[in-house]
């Protein structure tokens, strides 16, 4: 068996300390949960005890004759029953208070121990840095090569993951911009179903809706261009998302130009709205592809980090 270096021995020892402290932290969480439940029970029992005492006092003040007509029973029997109930509840209350005191004492001890958790975590982090330097400058060439390959892959996946996240944010912003145009076009197209063609209010409503769609055009175009740039960046990292920049630009230019020309010549806007809906559908499919790719990259990141940790901590 290969002898461990001093740094490796310190790492193993620190990992042992860390595992103990993690268990301490877990136990502390459990005790806090139990204490919260116990505090709630104590509060409820306080209320119940107060009620039992009031019942005893009220019963003690009632005359024997009144009690006979009220309950058809003995006052002493009734008092004894109330006192017994109070005594039983009081014993349970005292027992619960004792349990709470023990849990609070244990919680305080665990809190003191758990304060060392950040210190030990930082110690392990520093030891891993030392171990990394040891590997990179050590005589084991195969270990060094394996480690460097993992670091290279890890750096690449971190960069790709960042690019995908940025593309997703840009893509969702593009979809929102397109959806706002569709909402305006829907209001404009609904005008055609209104009763009177000459109705001034209807004409004004359509003009207002179309003006809004035109106003939103540059925003949507800007968002789509940003998305296209993000997708191009991903292409440089060999991410296979099916997007042809030339076709994409031509497609968006088509429906934008078509929308403007429809407004100028006062034609029906159904075909234009369909073009925008197709673009929305296309964008949604791209986002789904990106989200799927994001899951793959994130899983690979976890795998690579585990590999790196295994080399540093073994």
243: nearest Cα among 297, 283, 276: 283
pTM > 0.75: yes or no: no
Contacts 24+ apart (CB under 8 A), 77-84: 82/52, 82/55, 82/56, 83/56
Overall CATH class of domain 147-313? mainly alpha
Q: DSSP labels for 107-150?
A: HHHHHHHHTTHHHHHHHHHHHHHHHHHHHHHSS-HHHHHHHHHH
Residues 240-261 have pLDDT tens digits of 444 444 334 444 554 555 555 5
Q: DSSP labels for 75-96?
A: HHHHHHHHHHHHHHHHHHHHHH
Q: What is the pLDDT of residue 10?
A: 86
Q: What is the pLDDT of residue 257?
A: 53
Q: What's the CA gap between 283 and 92, in Å, rounded?
A: 65
Q: Where are the domains of the chain?
A: 6-138, 147-313
Q: Write down the residue that tokens 């017994």 correspond to.
A: 84
Q: What is the pLDDT of residue 47?
A: 87
229 token code pair: 């740039």
Q: Give me the CATH topology for the region 6-138.
A: Helix Hairpins (1.10.287)
28: nearest Cα among 104, 120, 116: 104
Q: What is the pLDDT of residue 299?
A: 93
Residues of the chain with pLDDT under 70: 1-4, 59-76, 78, 189-204, 235-272
């Amino acid at each position: 068996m290969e002898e461990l270096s001093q740094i490796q021995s310190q790492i193993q020892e620190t990992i042992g300390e860390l595992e103990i402290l993690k268990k301490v932290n877990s136990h502390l969480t459990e005790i806090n949960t139990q204490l919260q439940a116990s505090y709630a029970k104590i509060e409820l029992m306080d209320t119940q005890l107060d009620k039992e005492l009031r019942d005893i006092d009220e019963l003690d003040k009632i005359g024997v004759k009144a009690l006979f007509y009220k309950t058809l029973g003995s006052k002493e029997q009734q008092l004894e029953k109330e006192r017994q109930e109070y005594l039983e509840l009081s014993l349970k209350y005292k027992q619960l208070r004792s349990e709470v005191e023990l849990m609070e004492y244990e919680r305080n001890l665990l809190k003191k121990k758990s304060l060392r958790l950040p210190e030990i975590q930082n110690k392990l982090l520093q030891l891993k840095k030392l171990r990394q330097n040891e590997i990179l400058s050590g005589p084991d060439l195969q270990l060094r090569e394996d480690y460097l390959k993992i670091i290279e892959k890890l750096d690449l996946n971190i960069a790709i993951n960042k690019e995908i996240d940025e593309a997703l944010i840009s893509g969702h912003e593009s979809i929102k911009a397109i959806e706002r145009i569709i909402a305006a076009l829907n209001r404009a197209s609904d005008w055609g179903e209104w009763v009177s063609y000459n109705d001034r209010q209807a004409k004004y409503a359509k003009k207002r809706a179309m003006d809004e769609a035109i106003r939103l055009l540059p925003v949507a175009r800007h968002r789509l261009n940003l998305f296209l740039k993000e997708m191009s960046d991903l292409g440089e990292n060999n991410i296979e998302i099916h997007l042809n920049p030339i076709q994409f630009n031509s497609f968006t230019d088509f429906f934008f130009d078509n929308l403007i020309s429809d407004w100028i010549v006062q034609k029906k806007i159904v075909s234009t709205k369909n073009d925008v809906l197709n673009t929305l559908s296309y964008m949604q499919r791209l986002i789904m592809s990106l989200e799927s790719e994001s899951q793959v990259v994130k899983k690979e990141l976890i795998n690579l980090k585990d590999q790196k940790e295994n080399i540093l901590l073994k």
